[in-house]
Amino acid sequence: MFYIFGGMKLYKKHVFLAILLPLQILFVQFLSKKPEFIEKYYANGIYPYISRFFRFILGWIPFSFGDILGLFLIGLFVFEIYKLFKNRFRTIIPKLLQFTAFLSLLYFCFYLFWALNYFREPLAKSLQLSQSKYTTEQLVYTTKKTIQELNRIHYNITANDTLKIHVPYSTKEIYTKVPLAYQNLAEHYPQLSYKTTSLKSSAVSLFQSYNGTSGYLNPITGEAQVNAMIPKAGFPATACHEVAHQIGWSAENDANFIGFLTCIYSDDVYFNYSGYRMAFRYCMREVRKRDKELYKELWKTVHKGISKELKDNYNFWKKYENPIEPYIKKGYNSYLKANNQSKGIDSYSYVVDLLIAYFEQQKS
């Protein structure tokens, strides 16, 4: 039942799993060209059951099980590397085979448990939004709408356009409000319903701050996780974004748009602020690319209290800038491109297409 290699027992299952890895890669590439199949049989077929199963068994745990598992695996990997050096690489062939077998198993779980959603049909089709190349005029119209709403909500909270908002909720309170916001959203968009909660603070929030990320979904455990250190004004939109991944929308622009929708359909004014705040920031980035003078003029129409809050947000992230962060982002950029997001990290900004389509739809 085994081969002897370098004094170690090498089971046939390792060979079998290692051989399966390239076959799996080819099969995933084949499925990536079948969005209708993925949409029908995976995204709206088996995935909702897989997702809810993991949320049911892990959602009640107050800490991130996925983060602990990840840290354990990293520690195990470092220990195995140490043993390789200690044994002067005498066991390198069986160890490489075991590692390849592990990668094969991880690859299988990654795509089965979540990542096949990368190849589903776009959100715009599901929501019947007319997504197309937009004009600067359409961009400016949408940006002005987000400024108008953001100013209105800001003043409702502060009653003073120069004061910064202060979100009075704890992270746990925000987490309890996210499913309620999704409940409201599902009344208008039933396909975006969210049941069985598994939303937590990341156990590696400090690391996330240093690599410039606000949250992520663990694709193996199905836990939606938020960087607990981020400024509270953006917290609701980030939490809603991660839940969007959890319910099967892998593309970053789609998750951003669902995060926006969930926040603005919420009964909570701080969620409303967070949603329009996110939309405003993405729209303004696009305006700056097209017309810097117009960008400056639009900023003049934003309440000073909002500008102060966004300045604090900028300073927060500035504090954690480091030489390694760009390399981490390059790696993530490559990961996104390998999973049907041709623009990589820039795909986050493609939410502007959806925002414009949404506001155009609201006109009629």
For the chain, the domains span: 2-119, 125-363
Provide the pLDDT for residue 324. 85
Looking at residues 301-309, what average pLDDT do you find? 97
Looking at residues 212-231, what average pLDDT do you find? 96
Provide the pLDDT for residue 134. 87
**pLDDT digit string, tens, across residues 200-211:** 999 999 999 999
pLDDT of 327 over the 90 cut: no
Strands 199-201 vs 2-5: parallel, antiparallel or unpaired: unpaired
Model confidence at 7, pLDDT cuts 50, 70, 90, reads very low
Query: For residues 330 and 52, which has the higher predicted lDDT (pLDDT)?
Result: 52
**pLDDT digit string, tens, across residues 74-105:** 999 899 888 888 887 787 888 888 899 999 99
Looking at residues 106-128, what average pLDDT do you find? 95
Question: If you search the block for the tokens 């003078």, which residue do you land on?
Answer: 293
Q: How far is CA 46 from CA 25, 95, 117, 278, in A?
A: 20, 34, 11, 32
Residue 102, CA atoms < 13 Å, CB-side half-sphere: 10
Mean pLDDT of the chain: 91
273 closest CA partner among 190, 158, 180: 158
Model confidence at 3, pLDDT cuts 50, 70, 90, reads very low
Contact 139, 290 (CB under 8 A): yes
pLDDT of 72 over the 70 cut: yes
Q: What's the rounded Cα separation, in Å, for the pair 359 and 363?
A: 6
pLDDT of 349 over the 70 cut: no
